[in-house]
A and B are shown apart, each in its own frame.
Chain A
Amino acid sequence: MDRTQRPRSVLDSLGEELIGILTPVSICMFTVVLLVCLLNSDPFSSASFSSIATAAYSETDSDSPWDKLLGAFLNSLVFVAAITVATFLLVLLFYLRCVRFLKLYMGFSAFVVLANLGGEISVLLIDRFRLPVDSVTFSILLFNFSVVGVFAVFMSRFSILITQGYLVVIGVLVAYFFTMLPEWTTWVLLVALALYDLAAVLLPVGPLRLLVEMAISRDEDIPALVYEARPVIRDDSRLVQRRVWRDRRSSQNDDDLENNEVVNVVRAEEDEQRSEISVPLIERSRPESSETFLEGIGLGSSGAIKLGLGDFIFYSVLVGRAAMYDLMTVYACYLAIIAGLGVTLMLLSVYQKALPALPVSIMLGVVFYFLARLFLEVFVVQCSSNLVMF
């Protein structure tokens, strides 16, 4: 009585690539919120976090708001200046074709992040939950974890799920440490970085734009930490997921493909040695190519959507900082960031050139945070305390 196989509807597979990038971003943000909630329940135990982002001014509770604002500005200025210098250094090294050195440095920085920051957070978690673990076992596990992570991030033949998992873990670790910055500094820093990203990618003299143009002209990859969603190839009957975006690139017309890349630089820091590790990060997205093969409204792209790890980190920092106030602000900021990411990807498919991924999301996130904090809370309390709902 029924038809045997209904033809597949358009709705079945549209928007898959977008979900493929939204899921890890959401997981990263959720994990950071979880860590913030678990580890920050005791406000008196938070140690002061000293890093280059607080070099100019360290906030204390007794300062006036104007002082705090001024101090936050100074901190952000120092941080953005340091990042600019590091990015120009990266551009120089890439220009001189020291790619091998860059790759080694990336591996080293990934190892340091996983071992050092990962170890610190693990210790905090063990302390919080009173897990019985001895130090020998712990160091062996940590060492193995970090080494596998370095391999996962740099060997191209590694299982994609593990690579993606490790990249998300690196993002979570760095983001958690950034949330420990003082409050005003965090917000001003996020806005400053969004503006920096805008300038560095769109201005002709911006370092990221130079980097992207060099990479395109040489047809090379920038050695960087990039999250790559699984590329999807479709047969008529089922989905086959393979990691073939490199092969596809060579087999298709150059007219059809354009690389749109955005590079975002992030800096991971350690407390003790005050050494700085700069980790360049890329977002690249390929618009649709041949229509017979794929669907494209801007949602379906050939190959993978790649998002730089810096974007993961700063989205999670924003949401983590919102979590320190209330869960309502987390909810508002999460939706704002996702909306910003969607808008950015749509702009990318319209403008077909390198676009920064941070500004729209961060701006929306900051706006929604302050709106939620100022307006929503009072309204909700009014209604909730009287069991009024609509």
Chain B
Amino acid sequence: MHRSFEIIGKVMTVAAGIGYALLALGPSLSLFVSVISRKPFLILTLLSSTLVWLVSLIVLSGLWRPFLPLKANVWWPYTLLVLSSVCFQEALRFLFWKLYMRLEDVLDSFADRISRPRLFLTDKLQIALAGGLGHGVAHAVFFCLSLLTPAFAIIALAFVTIHTFSMVIAFEGYAKGNKVDQVIVPVIHLSAGMLTLVNFASEGCVIGVPLLYLVASLTLLHCGKMVWQRLIESRNQSGPTLR
């Protein structure tokens, strides 16, 4: 019944399957339960973000379908694949941000209409986080769900982290016009994609995976620093007025 299990050619126990899935998606699940499930709007953002990125993956696979299956053990078509996919997705991320700005305007005017405060900084950051989590989950499920293997689960975990937090960086970068943030996100995405190509070499994953995790932790650090700075800034701005 499950074609994926035929491909692996081994019997996978349910416990192992759940274990691998949790390996890839465990942190996202805890993020979901602690932050996203508290606010219904964030759940809706997560679902729409996952849908958008799934559609992007479908479009990519449709575009590449005539060229597949690629010859085995030849790595340069995969470079093209990763390059084109990353470019497409970064362009889509910009469009996604534009859509989000429109939504922010709608929400702000709605808040004015019912005389509630406008969106706080933390709200905007949370929406960006939900969007990024949707991106990460879409990729993890797409690449990892059919073939639940430990190797893939580990790689997927790194990618989930990268996608979740680079969305936050990207939104802030586009909103503030900060060139560094705007450029760093595609660079991170591209380098992460290219790093997985290292896995082609025999024993390549011994180098590739730790480097990937290095990129993921860099993303986390950069995002954390940026958010911390923004929060301090906004507190200094609004501190004296709120008592």
Contacts and interface: CB of A to CB of B under 8 A. Distances in A.
Interface of A: 3, 7-16, 18-19, 22, 40-41, 43, 291, 295, 297, 324-328, 331-332, 335-336, 338-339, 342, 368, 371-372, 374-390
A327 B142 CA distance: 10
Contacts of B189: 390
Output the residue of A18, A19, A384 with the most chain B CB within 10 A. Answer: A384
A390 to B, nearest CB: 4
B105 interface: no
A15 B196 contact: no
Nearest to B194: A390
B142 A376 contact: yes
Contacts of A335: 47, 50-51, 54
7 contacts: A291-B113, A326-B3, A327-B2, A383-B78, A388-B81, A389-B155, A389-B196
A7 B117 contact: yes
Contacts of A11: 39, 41-42, 107, 119, 123, 126-127
Closest CB pairs A-B (n = 6): A379-B61, A390-B193, A387-B199, A19-B40, A375-B61, A15-B40
Given A378-B69, A389-B155, 17 more contacts: A9-B123, A10-B107, A10-B114, A11-B39, A11-B42, A14-B41, A15-B43, A326-B4, A335-B54, A375-B58, A377-B146, A381-B146, A384-B146, A384-B147, A387-B205, A390-B86, A390-B189
B10 to A, nearest CB: 15
B93 interface: no
A328 B145 contact: yes
Interface in B153-210: 155-156, 159, 189, 192-193, 196-197, 199-200, 205
A365 to B, nearest CB: 12
Interface of B: 1-4, 7, 39-44, 47-48, 50-51, 54, 57-58, 60-62, 64-65, 68-70, 78, 81-82, 85-86, 89, 106-107, 110-111, 113-114, 116-120, 123, 126-127, 139, 141-143, 145-147, 151-152, 155-156, 159, 189, 192-193, 196-197, 199-200, 205, 242-243
Given A291-B114, A327-B146, A376-B58, A387 B155 contact: yes
Contact of A379 (B68, B126, B127): B68
Q: Is the interface of A mostly helix, strand, loop or mixed?
A: helix
Given A9-B123, A382-B70, A389-B143, A326 B40 contact: no
A9 B122 CA distance: 10
Contacts of B126: 11
Contacts of A387: 151-152, 155, 196, 199, 205
Contacts of B1: 40-41, 43, 324-325
A376 B196 CA distance: 20
A326 B156 contact: no
A338 B156 CA distance: 25
B168 to A, nearest CB: 16
B243 A386 contact: no
Contact of A377 (B3, B70, B197): B3
B152 A388 contact: no
A118 B86 CA distance: 49
Contacts of B69: 378, 381-382
A390 B85 contact: yes
Given A11-B41, A387-B151, A338 B47 contact: yes
Contacts of A336: 51
B160 to A, nearest CB: 11
B243 A3 contact: yes
A388 B40 contact: no
Contacts of A339: 47-48, 51
A297 B196 contact: no
B82 A13 contact: no
A386 B204 CA distance: 11
Contacts of A375: 58, 61-62, 65
A323 to B, nearest CB: 9
A19 B43 contact: yes
Output the residue of B61, B89, B117, B242 with the most chain A CB within 10 A. Answer: B61
B62 to A, nearest CB: 5
Nearest to A1: B239
B114 to A, nearest CB: 6
Contacts of B68: 378-379, 382
A7 B47 contact: no
Contacts of A328: 4, 142, 145-146
B17 to A, nearest CB: 10
Given A379-B60, A382-B70, A387-B199, A15 B85 contact: no
A389 B162 CA distance: 12
A371 B193 contact: no
Nearest to A14: B41
Contact of B119 (A10, A13, A383): A10
Contacts of B192: 390
